[in-house]
Amino acid sequence: MAITSPSTRLWWNEPAHRSELIWIALAFVWGLVMFFMMIYWHATGAQNLANETYRTTPNAYYAKVERNVADWQVRELNGLPVIKPPAGADVYLLGRMWLWYPVLELERGQTYRLHLSSLDLQHGFSLQPININVQVHPGYDHVLTVTPDRSGEYTIVCNEFCGLGHHTMLGKIFVVDR
Amino acid sequence: MSEIEPAPDQEPLRIPFMQRVLDNHFLLLFLGVVVPTVLYIIWGILELVQIPVAP
Amino acid sequence: MSKTVYRTCPTTGLRIDLSAQALIKANAVAAVVFLAIGGLFGLSVALTRWPAVHLLPADWFYLALTAHGLDVLLLWIIFFEIAVLYFASAILLNSRIAAPRWAWAAFALMLGGGLVTNVAVLQGQSSVMFTSYPPLMAAQHFYLGLILFAVGALIGCFVFFGTLVIARDEKTYQGSIPLVTFGALTAAIIAVFTLASGAIILIPTWLWSIGLVSNIDPLMYKLVWWAMGHSSQQINVSAHVAIWYAIAAMLFGAKPLSEKISRTAFLLYILFLQLASAHHLLVEPGLSSEWKVFNTSYAMYLAVLGSMIHGLSVPGAMEAAQRARGFNNGVFQWLRKAPWGNPAFSGMFLSLVMFGFLGGISGVVMGTEQINIMMHNTLYVPGHFHGTVVAGTTLAFMAMSYLLIPLVFQREVAFPSLAKWQPYLFGLGVAGLSLFMMGAGTLGVARRHWDITFTSAPFDFNYPPTAYLLMGLNGMAAIAAALGGLMFIVIVVKSVFFGKPVRDRITLAAPSGQPISAAVASYGSAGTLRIPGTLVLVGVFFTAFVLYYFVNWKYLSEVWPMR
């Protein structure tokens, strides 16, 4: 029994049943398929999270965000600046308790270098309704190269707990047709 | 507990290598700590300390 | 050194060290107390997330969520695991326990640490969630309590290793240790890595909360913290797989289909299971895709291979034992004639099935590097781990409790008709929790979130209406699970403290058929074995796995292109 010592002294030499061996072979091959699927998607798939990351400080990052706002603000929404960066630009978005800043207006089909960082705690960038989720750390500038492919209004929900106002932390990204 | 022991006058059993590994609890403890420490923690820390400073 | 005192178990004939028995009792009782507290917090969390009920105010919600994670994910589970380690070493090996005084010191440290951290959370200054990610800072005794607990549990693990050494030196067993003890060894090895990682990261964090360290890097913290946070769940997997084998053996006299294959599967756990700590860092900045792909896949899914082996060999061992006892008609007579009214069996079988289908498949899919983008920090994550830790581990531990009560506590299980239904009600509730949360997560609903209506947010936003429906169903499932949990607590407390003593030999296996001794004969050889029912079960599992995996790649291909 499984709660007593093996009844055969040399249990390693006991032959295994064929059905068990077939199952092991199948499970092993399936593991390889899943492993190489991730690598295959890196080569051919369109959705891979960038690893481009830099060390930064809250002050240095905030200065870049403010420069964005000064250069590209087009209007205001609920007291927050809305910026419309040119295609291909480095766009700096920050999370802080409890705000995503600024509001972005992007063009459909254009590619942007979207920077994410936090000024205080960790936050969770959760873009709805398409459900893209990325962790945002203070002190690290994470650069995603994104190409919004459908126009519409998108909401950034914070999905990492960041204090008592966490559930009020929303931001907006508008994707407009060219 | 039905253990089949060789009679005393027989040669001692030659235990297969993998059975000896699986019966060596402290070797397993060593492997179980070292493998994730190297592959997960140390490899991960090496990547984190190499993150460049933002231009 | 005091002399070891033994009793002889009338059912198994095993010689039981009374100090080991007392330690098992103490750890198991502490576990159940924390299960009760943590379960209550869990119910309040689910009722708050039911938008129509919205039970707690925000500050209490985050406090309750922190306490829930701490009490059930850490304290209930690890206290019970220490009990399992002592059982699988001292009792199953017929040995005395090593250093009982150290084991009591470990117990005191764990209990003291658990209480200190609970007090810190209840004081309200440590609502930092179970993960306590810096720069979010808790009160200093929050970290101190966790460190004491981790050190205590580490001592408990070494008592287990010490007992293995004593049993071998005093020749209380012959040949190799039993498979169940080997599974417990796997759990203990993973626990050493887990608890050491926890101590390594929490000690500087504690110093930071006192003001002696100026800065804790949030990424570095997360990397090392998850070596504890996720690996502690891998202790659970190893422990509950060992319990599946144990219950199959105790109820059916089941012998492993193949000792070498089952032990090799545990070896794959020892080597690779802990790498899956990377599941929590897949959308983190600063780690390469090479690191992510290798670690998240447990080194090319070798630990998943281990789980799939256990997924065949546990039901396969039961099927073989049942067939040997004469339940040989058709594909599934062995399963139909299983003791479904025995909570030790029903709990164990539900745990096996739900761990595989709910927790296992979702975990591998969510742990795929790119697919994680659609799931990280959504309710999919707690949906997944309620399938593993609650449906898998907790239900297995409950099932084991129904055997520990007569064998170790020497009491009859109280309220037998209630006990018969308990695993079904709890299992049903937990299956609902798991499925509904995963459903809400695929719709984007955030975890750890007090108000998904965003009433006081600067912008308007609504999740799809289906999400609200799912959160309501989730609340109802939580009520069912809480009732099942309450039944368990009532049964355990009544049995342990007021139960009728058991003095004679008891019958563990319920169904009629040939006695266990006949089934224990060596059917494990390659020629005689037939397990068609198990092959059908694993075939269904494999099909579901493959389909669900590729469906999620399809969903991913519809997300914004990014690189």
Chain B residues with CB under 8 Å of C95 CB are none
Q: Residue C120, Cβ neighbours under 10 Å: how many?
A: 23
CB contact under 8 A, C286 and B37: no
Within the 75-94 window of chain A, which residues sit less than 8 Å (CB to CB) from chain B? none
CB C257 within 8 A of CB C524: yes
Q: Which residue of A has its CA nearest to C259?
A: A11
C401: left (phi over 0), alpha (psi -120 to 50) or beta: alpha
Two structure tokens written together for C149 = 């607990």
Alpha-carbon gap: A51 to the closest alpha carbon of chain B (Å):
10
- The ipTM, to two decimals, is 0.96
CB contact under 8 A, C255 and A1: yes
Instruction: Select the residue from A5, A9, A92 to test the B interface by mutation, using most B Cβ atoms within 10 A.
Output: A9
CB contact under 8 A, C286 and B45: no
Tell me whether B2 touches chain A (CB under 8 Å): yes
Chain B residues with CB under 8 Å of A53 CB are 51
- Of B5, B39, B44, which has the smallest distance from its Cβ to C223's Cβ? B44
Q: What value does the mean pLDDT of chain B take?
A: 85
CB contact under 8 A, C174 and B22: no
Least confident of A119-123, B13-17, C364-368, C424-428: B13-17
| Closest C-alpha among C499, C274, C363 to residue B44 | C274
CB contact under 8 A, B3 and A7: yes
- Of B6, B18, B55, which has the smallest distance from its Cβ to A12's Cβ? B18
Profile chain C (563 residues) by mean pLDDT over runs of 10 residues: 80 88 96 96 96 95 96 95 96 94 98 97 94 95 96 97 96 93 97 94 96 95 96 94 95 90 96 96 96 95 96 94 88 94 96 96 96 96 96 96 92 94 97 97 96 92 96 97 97 94 72 40 51 95 97 96 92
The structural domains of chain C, with segments of one domain joined by +, span: 15-502+521-559
Tell me whether A138 touches chain B (CB under 8 Å): no
| Closest C-alpha among C408, C400, C390, C348 to residue C26 | C408
**Is the confidence at residue A37, as pLDDT, over 80?**
yes
- Of C176, C192, C287, which has the smallest distance from its Cβ to B23's Cβ? C176
**Is the confidence at residue A12, as pLDDT, over 80?**
yes
Residue in the structure block whose two tokens are 């030196």: C169
H/E stretch holding C15 reads strand C15-17
| pLDDT given for residue C529 in this prediction | 73
Alpha-carbon gap: B44 to the closest alpha carbon of chain A (Å):
13
Query: Which 3 state secondary structure label does DSSP give C6?
Result: strand
**∠ CA C15-C20-C23, rounded to 5°:** 150
Q: What value does the mean pLDDT of chain A take?
A: 95
Query: Which 3 state secondary structure label does DSSP give A120?
Result: coil
Confidence of residue B13 (pLDDT cuts 50, 70, 90): confident
CB contact under 8 A, C189 and B47: no
**Average pLDDT score over residue span A111-122:** 96
Two structure tokens written together for B24 = 């060596």
| pLDDT given for residue C528 in this prediction | 56
CB C32 within 8 A of CB C490: no
Query: Which 3 state secondary structure label does DSSP give C309?
Result: helix
A174: left (phi over 0), alpha (psi -120 to 50) or beta: beta
Chain C residues with CB under 8 Å of A48 CB are 289, 370, 562-563
| pLDDT given for residue B32 in this prediction | 97
**Integer Cα distance of C450 and C418 in angstroms:** 35
H/E stretch holding C330 reads none
Q: State the sign of the Cα–Cα–Cα–Cα dihedral A20, A23, A25, A27.
A: negative
Q: From start to end of A35-85, where are the E strands?
A: 53-55, 73-77, 80-83
- Of A12, A55, A140, which has the smallest distance from its Cβ to B19's Cβ? A12
Instruction: Select the residue from C267, C282, C522 to test the B interface by mutation, using most B Cβ atoms within 10 A.
Output: C267
CB contact under 8 A, A48 and C451: no
CB A127 within 8 A of CB A155: yes
H/E stretch holding C441 reads helix C416-442
Fold for the domain defined by C15-502+521-559: Cytochrome C Oxidase; Chain A (1.20.210)
Tell me whether A23 touches chain B (CB under 8 Å): no
- The length of chain B is 55
DSSP state of A10: T
Q: Which residue of A has its CA nearest to B49?
A: A55
Chain C residues with CB under 8 Å of B22 CB are 176, 182, 263-264, 267
CB contact under 8 A, C376 and A162: no
Instruction: Determine the residue type at C250.
Output: M
- Of B13, B22, B51, which has the smallest distance from its Cβ to A9's Cβ? B13
Residue in the structure block whose two tokens are 């480095």: A90
Two structure tokens written together for C120 = 């810190």
Helix-strand-coil percent breakdown of chain A, rounded to 5? Answer: 25, 40, 35
Q: Residue C185, Cβ neighbours under 10 Å: how many?
A: 27
Contacts of C125 by beta carbon, 8 Å cutoff, 6+ apart: C138, C139
- Of A3, A148, A167, which has the smallest distance from its Cβ to C449's Cβ? A167
